[in-house]
Amino acid sequence: MPISTNRSILTALFILLSFNALAQNSIKGTVKDLNSSPLEKVSVTLINKQRSAATDSNGEFSFTDLPAGKYTVRFSHTGFEADQKTITLAQGESRVIDIVMVPSTEQLQTVEITGRKESGYKNTASFIGSKTATALKDVPQAISYVTKELMQDQSAVRVGDVVKNFSGVNQFTFYDDLTIRGFRINGGSTTQLLNGMRTFTGFWKQPMVNYLERVEVIKGPASALFGNASPGGTVNRVTKKPLEEDRKSLSFTVGSFNTTRALADFTGPLNKDKTILYRLNIGYENAQSFRVLQFDKNIVIAPSISFLPTPKTRLNFDAVYNKSNSRLDRGQSVFAGKTEEALYTTPISQALNAVNDHLDEENYTVMASLTHQFTSKLAFNLSYLRTGYLQDLVENRSANAYAVDSLGNTINSLVGRQAFIRQSKQFSDNVSAYFTYEAHTGKLEHKLLLGYDYAQSTLPKGSDQSTASGYLKKDGTTGAYNKNKPGDYVMMNYTVTDKNGKPLQGAAGKDSIIRIPKPNVPSYDLIKRNNNLEDMTKYIFATGVINSATQPVFGGLSGVYAQDQIKLGALQVLLGVRYEVYTDKAAYQTDSQHIVRQHKFLPRVGLVYSVNNHINVYGVYTQGYNPQDPAIQSDPLAGGPFAPIESNLVEGGLKTEWLGGRLTANLAVYQIHQTGTLYQDSKSDYLGAYVQIGKERARGVELDVTGQIAPHWDVIVTYAYNDAQLQDVGKADSAWLGKQKPNAPKQQGSLWTKYTIPAGPLSGFGIGAGGNFVTRRNLSLDPSVTIPGFVLFNAALYYKVNRVQIQFNLNNLANKTYWVGGYDYLRLFPGAPRNWQTTISYTF
């Protein structure tokens, strides 16, 4: 055979082999979550082929050198529903499989042990509605939430920064103090939840949110599951839990008002088998304020450890420690007047503090939980949460009244002040244990829950407060001014000035000087703005006004509850009942100690009907019960004893999912009745005096839209209409009858959207924009005193390259003057003017 012929055959054979090599079969693709974010370390398996792979940081996987044939590709990842696809490969064919994994709602744990895998604004499942991992669309009660991704995009620092994203929720004051559907809740009482356990925050300062996975609110009474709670709703703060893969991030923020902030978030496995997982969140903040003399210095340390010794047993430990140094801001005071024009007579920066005031706080929570799966149907959960709070306070503040002259006439520009020196501590313990069991009776599917919990709150002996107030008397004592006995008081001269501080001239051309009683604590001059270093050794103090100063205070709460989630085809029924027992140890730890008990049965009935894959219709009836605060009940000057607070909710609505599950739109219509609420007694000189309201009613409509309109385009929209009235005022001021409840806007809403450019020369750039509005509100002590509504606009820019992101947030674009809430025109709480923050973050 000629050499040329051999060469031709070899060449043809080489080409054929090359072609076959190029034509090798392969399967590749990308795995993402519902928010179009790549999922890393997803297990991808070729069933019966003994081939497996894991997705990389871009969510990509590939199999090569595959023979032609039929393949079943299975995808699995902790926290997500497993998925699989079956395909047939022809010779030389390459197939691309792109998968969107859906978060699992049927997880082993009955509490959140391992971290949420979802990213973005949408959250699929929650434990707050049923104490089991239930899809939100299947919970027959409205639940709103804000995820950590939304908080990061808005550069939110505290819960007060995120409440605008909840329908029907708004701030009452600067503090950890909110209204939900017109009913007030605050962090000073043990009606808030941390990981579904009862806790408190100390009230005066809102905690940072850097250690939270999300903040969620179950609307209406949640008493059937969690015991006494506000009829408007209950706030649950869910801490970040450990993840099975290594993730680390650092961020640094600078901004308006000399703000500096540094955050760190580390998570991952501690051993090769991934049976021990950890997470550590650290936060540092040093920030001034637009308010005079106000500042915040905070350190937050939040570790979390998960131990998974077997597939059936999981242990988790969470702790949060927060140390805060600041001044207590009692709000803005304005010149005397009852019209809204008075609001603008002083700057929103004005505060009544002295230079030597301080508020130092330490707050900690420690939580441990155990989950064990006895069988595929039976599981047990045991949890314990300890909360501790210590406070060291020195403050000069408003006495909630204007100063008077010798004739008892109000001096419109002079605010009376008082001073507090307080050392206090408070502790609470919460234990929860429950079983879950899945069963079938014929065509009925059951998810049974049986549990018991106990919570107690104590103010131990040793807390004390010294108060300086009133006017100086010639006999060396102090008291309220009696204009009929001016000779009993020490008098002083006061020069009346105009609003520019210039002395007014009398008829004879001399300065206008009047005689006034000398205050125990120097009054605050709204014109001169005397934020001085006060010599508090000259004040005359009264001691022992905190109830536990000479005697501690104790309150305990226990309950047994049962629940059955029944499913029959498209219909789901939730039946629940709780037997609640409240114990108050009056005259605690004294010879005359005696126990006062209250008890109540609390039912809950809910229905969910799936019209189709996109729409669920639901309805619910539930009752609430809330004993009065034991500290108030034991205070002989408070005006009690007071009957407990009782409430009920009737609610119905729609829960819908669209765009392949990326977007949810929920509608709720509700009516709440409550009796027994306490309001501050405006006719009493004692700040701790209360009167009990006979009946309140709130009815309204709420809309929440959350998720993605398209890949890389996130959105959240809320709207609420709430008619919240006092229908029977009891002994309170009859002027409140039929009026909208304090700090409860009739309408409010919000919008926030973010779009990130996925490809091209501008890839990595993003823009966020939105706003929120609140209508006019009545203030606490006088329904004729109101604060105006407002509309705010905010925006943000983002740029991410590789693992680094730079973020710029600009809030209150129009520099709107507004007030988030208030008690009266002596205690107003203004919102921040235009402000900015720049954040650089690094993920590795």
pLDDT tens-digit map of 762-793:
999 999 999 999 999 999 767 789 999 999 99
Q: Above 80 in pLDDT, residue 472?
A: yes
What CA–CA distance (Å, rounded) separates 449 from 472? 63
Tokens of 29: 């693709």
**pLDDT tens digits for range 795-822:** 999 999 999 999 999 999 999 999 999 9
695 CB-near residues (< 8 Å, 6+ apart): 673, 674, 675, 726, 727, 728
Query: HSE on the CB side for 10, CA within 13 Å?
Result: 6
Helix (H) / strand (E) element for 34: namely none
Alpha helices by DSSP H, 291-353: none
Q: Above 50 in pLDDT, residue 545?
A: no
Q: Above 80 in pLDDT, residue 551?
A: no
Residue recorded with tokens 């350190």: 299
DSSP string computed for 511-569: B-EEEEEPBSSPPEETTT-------GGGS--EE--STTTTS-EEEEEEEEEEEEEEEET
Q: Does domain 235-450+544-843 have CATH number 3.40.47.10?
A: no
Q: Does domain 125-234 have CATH number 2.170.130.10?
A: yes
Rg (CA), the chain: 31
507 CB-near residues (< 8 Å, 6+ apart): none
Beta-sheet strand order (sheet of 43-46): 51-54, 43-46, 69-76, 83-89
Q: Does domain 3-100 have CATH number 2.60.40.10?
A: yes
Of 479-488, 697-706, 736-745, the range with the lowest mean pLDDT is 736-745
Using pLDDT thresholds of 50, 70 and 90, give the confidence band for residue 549.
very low
328 CB-near residues (< 8 Å, 6+ apart): 204, 353, 357, 359, 393, 395, 397
Q: In this predicted structure, what is the pLDDT of residue 611?
A: 96
In the chain the first and final C-alpha atoms are separated, in Å, by: 65
pTM of the complete model: 0.85
**pLDDT tens digits for range 721-756:** 999 998 887 666 677 788 899 999 999 999 999 999
Using pLDDT thresholds of 50, 70 and 90, give the confidence band for residue 617.
very high
Q: Above 60 in pLDDT, residue 509?
A: no
**pLDDT tens digits for range 239-258:** 999 998 899 999 999 999 99
Q: Above 80 in pLDDT, residue 48?
A: no
What CA–CA distance (Å, rounded) separates 824 from 817? 17
Of 134-143, 233-242, 252-261, 677-686, the range with the lowest mean pLDDT is 677-686
What are the residue ranges spanned by the domains of the chain?
Answer: 3-100, 125-234, 235-450+544-843
DSSP string computed for 337-361: -SSGGGGGSS-TT-----TT-EEEE
Q: In this predicted structure, what is the pLDDT of residue 11?
A: 52
719 and 746 in contact (C-beta within 8 Å)?
Answer: no
4 CB-near residues (< 8 Å, 6+ apart): none
Q: Above 80 in pLDDT, residue 595?
A: no
What CA–CA distance (Å, rounded) separates 541 from 131? 49
Q: Above 90 in pLDDT, residue 456?
A: no
Closest to 434 in 3D by CA, of 379, 375, 367: 379
What CA–CA distance (Å, rounded) separates 339 from 346? 14
Q: In this predicted structure, what is the pLDDT of residue 548?
A: 41
Closest to 43 in 3D by CA, of 79, 1, 6: 79
What CA–CA distance (Å, rounded) separates 228 from 577? 13
Phi then psi for 97, rounded to 5 degrees? -120, 115
Tokens of 659: 């765009």
Q: In this predicted structure, what is the pLDDT of residue 107?
A: 45
Question: Which burial class, exposed, middle or buried, applies to 28 when counting CB atoms under 10 A from its CB (0-12, 13-18, 19+)?
Answer: middle
Tokens of 361: 């706080």
Please tell me which residue, 175 or 496, carries the higher pLDDT value: 175
Using pLDDT thresholds of 50, 70 and 90, give the confidence band for residue 93.
confident
Strand partners, 444: 441
Q: In this predicted structure, what is the pLDDT of residue 110?
A: 47
Mean pLDDT of the chain: 88
Q: Above 80 in pLDDT, residue 636?
A: no
Of 14-23, 107-116, 131-140, 407-416, the range with the lowest mean pLDDT is 14-23
